[in-house]
Structure 1
Amino acid sequence: MYQPRAFVGTDAAQLDALFVADPFVTLLTNDEAGTPFASHLPVLYHRDGDRIVVEGHWAKPNPQARHAGDALLIVHGPHAYVSPGWYPDKHEAGRVPTWNYAVAHLRGHLETFDDESSLADLVARLSRHFEARVGSDWEFDATDARQQALLRGIVGFRFVPDRSDIKLKLSQNHPLANRQAVIDALSSQAFDDTRAVAALMRSTLP
């Protein structure tokens, strides 16, 4: 990932926040022929100090369920168009449109598992986590033969990154007046992403 120095995120809490806001990630691997393959998946994220573990599962027919080893996981943050018309110095500086966004790339090792007890534990934790996010209370029941049978249709994974790159492109390379003007403009928009970008921009102000 291209990372100009002004846009490098260095705080682990920034990565935590990206996962909390959007735990639906893109996981990239290479098949035996070296061809890239991508899946889009909900995941559980856990960080203990510097150690990160990301867990999830595929449908068993997904070719990526037969991949393991090196992998790249992309966490997608909010993003928004930025109009040059918002900048106070738009005329004298000859400003042009751009896009502000937050994203993280995690590189590391991917391992798979398909034993029933581990899959049951994973599905139970996934359902508890995401049911709580939507205010519901469905639970996986490992004693229900119908639900238990569905475990045979998935393959679980654990991903342990050894490198995490956070990019926060939030107009940090602009004068303070421009940054504040963009925050004000984005905050007035009707879209959740634009307001989220505005909030991130506000957190980077000196």
Structure 2
Amino acid sequence: MYTPRAFASNDPAALDALLAADPFVTLVTVVDGAPVVSHLPVLIERDGGRLALRGHWAKPNPQSSHTGPALAIVHGPHAYVSPSWYTDKVEETRVPTWNYVVAHLHGTLERLTGTDDLASIVADLSARFETQVGEQWRYVDDDAHRSQLRGIVGFRLHVDRIDTKVKLSQNHPDANREAVIGKLGAQDTDDARSVAQWMREALAASRAGDRHGS
């Protein structure tokens, strides 16, 4: 992923915030030079400094037979930014752009096919997401539910490299950043308001860093 230095982040909290807001990732593997892609909800596992993602495929999904190198893309909020919002109005050097947050998790894919592993994935996914919709479905370890496990294949992605890109107008003067925050925060889309909040926090952190460095 192309990431200019101004937009690179090595803050684990940024990745945690992305995964907490939207744990529905794009999982990419490559076979015979061709990409294979799935879109999947995942569970996050942290063990000290180690990170892994856990989830499952439908068994007929061709990717369910894959192991080895893989990439998970964690999608964050994104929004269009108009140069007309900038306060400096230097038209010849200000152009439209897109602000966004995204993370690429590179690692090694492990297939999980044991009944206990699959049951744990389904149980943990339901526990994670049922409460969000006000429901109470739960995996029960009985014959009916165990029979359903034959239709899935589990995976664990052992993450060994994280590239997080936080493109939030950091290359602009503070006044421009404040103006963009105001415009995005006033829009009626969740993405725009979320980008505005990310920008507020990034600007506050930048100013705090400047004070500590002075």
Q: Please state which band the TM-score falls in when normalised by the shorter chain.
A: over 0.9
Q: What's the counterpart of residue 66 of structure 1? A: 65
Distance 2:163 2:134 in 1: 32
What is the CA-CA distance between 1:92 and the residue it aligns to?
Answer: 5.1
Greater displacement, 133-142 / 102-111: 133-142
Q: For residue 93 of structure 1, report the CA deviation from its aligned partner.
A: 5.0
Say whether residues 1:156 and 2:154 are aligned partners.
yes
1:183 equivalent in structure 2: 181
Matches within 5 A, 1:1-206: 1-31=1-31, 33-91=32-90, 94-143=93-142, 145-205=143-203, 206=207
Identity %: 59
Q: CA deviation at 1:109?
A: 0.5
Give the drift of 1:7. Answer: 0.2
What SS does the aligned partner of 2:124 have? Answer: helix
Aligned amino acid, residue 29 of structure 1: T
TM-score normalised according to structure 1 size: 0.96
TM-superposed deviation, 1:146: 2.4
- Paired with 1:43 and 1:168, the residues of 2 have a C-alpha distance of 22
Structure 1: runs of 5 or more not aligned: none
Aligned structure 1 segments of 4 or more residues deviating by more than 6 angstroms: none
Write the distance in 2 (CA, Å) between the matches of 1:48 and 1:203.
27
Deviations 1:36-86 (A, max 9, x none): 111000000122332001000000000000110000110000000001110
Query: How far, CA to CA, are the matches of 1:46 and 1:146 in structure 2?
Result: 28
CA RMSD after TM alignment: 1.1
Deviations 1:137-180 (A, max 9, x none): 1101121x222211000000000110001000000000000000
1:73 and 1:182 mapped to 2: Cα distance? 30
Task: Count the aligned residue pairs.
Answer: 204
> CA separation in 2, counterparts of 1:96 and 1:14?
27
Instruction: Give the TM-score of the pair, scaled to structure 2.
Output: 0.92
Aligned equivalents of 1:27, 1:74: Cα separation in 2: 6
Pairwise CA distance, 1:94: 3.6
* Equivalent-residue separation in structure 2 for 1:43 and 1:27 (angstroms): 10
Output the CA distance in 2 between the equivalents of 1:137 and 1:159: 28
Greater Cα offset, 127-136 or 2-11: 127-136
